[in-house]
Structure 1
Amino acid sequence: MTAIELRKATKKYPGFTLGPIDLSIEQGEFFGIFGPPSSGKTSILKLILGLLSQDEGQVILSGVDCKNLEVSQRGISMVFQNLALFPHMTGRENIIFPLAERGAPEEEITNRLDSVSEVLHVSHILHKNPSQMSGGERQRIALGRALADDSRAILLDEPISALDARLRENMRVELKRLQRTNNQTFVYVSHDEEEVMAISDRVAVMIDGQIAQAGEPDVVYNYPNSIRVAEVIGTPPMNFFTGTFSADGRYFECDKLTKPIPLARKVRPGEPGTLGVRPEDIHEDAGDDSHEISISSVEPLGSHTIINAELGEQLTKIRAEGRIIKPGDHAGRVTFDQRRLHLFDKDGIRLPEGGE
């Protein structure tokens, strides 16, 4: 069942237009939205919640057009980036606030509070005010308020961006567990693509007010439909080489490389294009098709090392697993994994996988 649907939804701002947005989110789905800052991610949440009204198109919740529905009538909860807790209220009072506001019976309030507190492990801090809580505790209280209201969907706007790295990792696991336990629809927004990809069932990539691509995380990562999408997915980012496909369509030729790159399939003979290769798909190899590199710097990250190297005349990032490398150690040779190359036409659109 479709829980949230946007049909050609458009919101116009001075100098910026969001949409038209076409998006369907299923009941019980953990849906992620990411993209660069100011790409329109939060505005989509506000359209769903009703804090913004679309200029064109529709917002549909469980089959009902929300054009004339107020925020309170939509049955949606939102966890804001700043968490928006009431500083003068205890954790208990913050959690039960939406229930008390709509006049829920005391028995229902108690049952919902007990249930949420058990799931979130916050029973021991319900007596505290937000100023007495850690960042992770405030996060759990904000989530508790959303969960207690038994909403049809919960919208999360970069809710863990202010936490330290280790706590963010823990909260990612916790969010996924909560969503699965309660079988609720979560819509999660963040500018951190790794964070969104790690916990979402499906993701949408926002660029300049448009959904550039949507799908399962591994599909979006392995088959970005354009250079614009490929640029924002992956850490370190994809390497790009601009050139021309050979006359027989079997090689990619680039002025910055000393030799052509063999392709696994025949594509657009003689046409200009771009070849993309991820850092993990460049391997040390001294074969006939290899390219000489000169290491300029390294980033040791424990389980792997990021090598910044000159490949031909272009700075290229390479991910080497479990190696200790120092700048200037040697000028090695590498090859590209033919099975993992990303080929784009002159307009930056991904070429079909079957070849031409």
Structure 2
Amino acid sequence: MNAIEIRGVVKAYPKFTLGPIDLTIGQGEFFGIFGPPSAGKTSVLKLILGLLNHDKGSVSLGGADASGMEVADRNIAMVFQNLALFPHMSGRENITFPLTERGASQAEIAARLKAVSEVLHVDHILRKNPAQMSGGERQRVALGRALAADSRAILLDEPIAALDTRLREEMRIELKRLQRSNNQTFVYVSHDEEEVMAISDRVAVMIGGRIVQVGVPDDVYNRPNCMAVAQLIGSPPMNLFSGRFSDDGWHFECDAFAAPFPLPERTRPGEVGTLGIRPEDIHQTEDRGALSHEIGISSIEPLGGYTIVNAMLGGQLTKIRAAGQIVRADDHAKRVTFDTRRLHLFDAEANRI
């Protein structure tokens, strides 16, 4: 049985319309929702939780229509971006608060606290107030409160955005471990692409209030279904070249290329379109043949294990991700070739071909 189903949900605001949204989230799935700020990600969580009422469509939880359910009856926990801990309560009291509110016995509270503390390794901070805790400790307490409630799903709204980079990496691993060990349904929202792609079983990409693609991270990255997703996913984003497909459909004609670019298969004869290539799929070459392209290097960005090369290709800025550390422009070849197995082709409506 699916944990959460959203069918044709629409929520209208004065200057923004969310939806229609269609989502199915399986029981025990780590489901990510990714998109730019103000895409509607948090609103989807609020619709699931019951903090927002939808104008059209339906939300089902565990197969039951949630339209008439109160928030408390939905048995869903939420971890907010600001963590929303009670400042006057200790870590212990914050974690056990939902159990106390629903009138759980002292034995049940003690058992749940023990189980959660062991999983999260928070025994040493249970007596502290939030003001005495580090960011990572507060994060664990907030998660502990959600886990202690033994809910059908946990919604996480950018829960680690305020942490430093190293601690975010650690918490990503911890979140995945917790979700797996508890077989819990997690719905995780973030505008950080790396974060969502690293820990999610499946990802929904939201743009402008709509879900434009749902799939496993590999599909979303390697087979974006439209140019909007191709530009949003990837750092640096995909290079895009506008032009047209040749009359025979076997080449792509574009001002950036000195000669028609050969395609691996016949595509849309005579139509306008766009060719995309990710920065890591452009490689240095000494070959001066028809499949290589001359570039003029504008600048380089050494980033340790790899280097971003900013180059001009036929008058268009092109991003190249080169392995290793390149410290001088002269260390990179002045010609490149595209991996034709990794091309992305889009039609005039910006949809994937």
What is the TM-score when the length of structure 1 is the normalising length?
A: 0.97
Structure 1 counterpart of 2:51: 51
Structure 2 counterpart of 1:203: 203
Tell me the CA shift for residue 249 of structure 1: 1.2
Tell me the CA shift for residue 255 of structure 1: 1.4
Tell me the CA shift for residue 328 of structure 1: 5.5
Structure 2 counterpart of 1:93: 93
Tell me the CA shift for residue 324 of structure 1: 1.7
Counterparts of 1:325 and 1:275, CA distance in 2 = 30
Query: Which string of whole-angstrom CA distances, capped at 9 and with x for unpartnered residues, describes residues 251-299 of structure 1?
Result: 1111132222221111011111000100000011233111111111111
Structure 1 counterpart of 2:102: 102
Tell me the CA shift for residue 327 of structure 1: 3.4
SS of the aligned residue for 1:11 comes to strand
Q: Percent identity?
A: 71
Structure 2 counterparts to residues 153-164 of structure 1, below 5 A? 153-164=153-164
SS of the aligned residue for 2:329 comes to coil
Counterparts of 2:52 and 2:194, CA distance in 1 = 28
Tell me the CA shift for residue 330 of structure 1: 6.3
Paired residue total: 351
Tell me the CA shift for residue 331 of structure 1: 6.0
- The RMSD of aligned alpha carbons is 1.0
Structure 1 counterpart of 2:335: 333
Structure 2 counterpart of 1:322: 324
Bigger mean CA offset, 148-157 vs 285-294:
285-294
Structure 1 counterpart of 2:344: 342
> Is the 2:295–2:311 Cα contact (8 Å) retained in structure 1?
yes
> Is the 1:257–1:313 Cα contact (8 Å) retained in structure 2?
no
SS of the aligned residue for 1:255 comes to coil
> Is the 2:33–2:190 Cα contact (8 Å) retained in structure 1?
yes
Q: Does 1:235 align with 2:235?
A: yes
Counterparts of 2:42 and 2:236, CA distance in 1 = 25
> Is the 2:28–2:184 Cα contact (8 Å) retained in structure 1?
yes
Amino acid corresponding to residue 157 of structure 2 in structure 1: D
> Is the 1:259–1:291 Cα contact (8 Å) retained in structure 2?
no
Counterparts of 2:5 and 2:101, CA distance in 1 = 28
Go from structure 1 to structure 2 and tell me whether the alpha carbon gap of 1:71 and 1:285 turns closer, same or farther (over 3 Å shift): same
Structure 2 counterpart of 1:256: 256
Bigger mean CA offset, 323-332 vs 188-197:
323-332
Counterparts of 2:261 and 2:160, CA distance in 1 = 42
Structure 2 counterparts to residues 215-230 of structure 1, below 5 A? 215-230=215-230
Query: Which string of whole-angstrom CA distances, capped at 9 and with x for unpartnered residues, describes residues 101-135 of structure 1?
Result: 00000000000000000000000000000000000
> Is the 2:248–2:269 Cα contact (8 Å) retained in structure 1?
yes
Q: Does 1:67 align with 2:77?
A: no
> Is the 2:284–2:332 Cα contact (8 Å) retained in structure 1?
no
Aligned mate of 1:296, from 269, 273, 298:
298
Bigger mean CA offset, 251-260 vs 332-341:
251-260
Structure 2 counterparts to residues 266-281 of structure 1, below 5 A? 266-281=266-281
SS of the aligned residue for 1:54 comes to coil
> Is the 1:295–1:331 Cα contact (8 Å) retained in structure 2?
no
Tell me the CA shift for residue 325 of structure 1: 3.6
Structure 2 counterpart of 1:313: 315
> Is the 1:6–1:58 Cα contact (8 Å) retained in structure 2?
yes
Tell me the CA shift for residue 329 of structure 1: 5.4
Query: Which string of whole-angstrom CA distances, capped at 9 and with x for unpartnered residues, describes residues 293-340 of structure 1?
Result: 111111111111110111110000000001424135566100111000
Structure 2 counterparts to residues 136-155 of structure 1, below 5 A? 136-155=136-155
Go from structure 1 to structure 2 and tell me whether the alpha carbon gap of 1:202 and 1:330 turns closer, same or farther (over 3 Å shift): closer
> Is the 1:272–1:346 Cα contact (8 Å) retained in structure 2?
yes
Q: Does 1:30 align with 2:30?
A: yes
What is the TM-score when the length of structure 2 is the normalising length?
A: 0.98
> Is the 1:295–1:327 Cα contact (8 Å) retained in structure 2?
yes
Counterparts of 2:313 and 2:164, CA distance in 1 = 36
> Is the 2:238–2:278 Cα contact (8 Å) retained in structure 1?
yes
Structure 2 counterpart of 1:354: none
> Is the 2:10–2:19 Cα contact (8 Å) retained in structure 1?
yes
> Is the 2:99–2:109 Cα contact (8 Å) retained in structure 1?
yes
Structure 2 counterpart of 1:10: 10
Counterparts of 1:255 and 1:157, CA distance in 2 = 44
> Is the 1:298–1:305 Cα contact (8 Å) retained in structure 2?
yes
SS of the aligned residue for 1:224 comes to coil
Large movers: runs of 4+ above 3 Å: 327-331
Counterparts of 1:276 and 1:242, CA distance in 2 = 9
Counterparts of 2:336 and 2:249, CA distance in 1 = 22
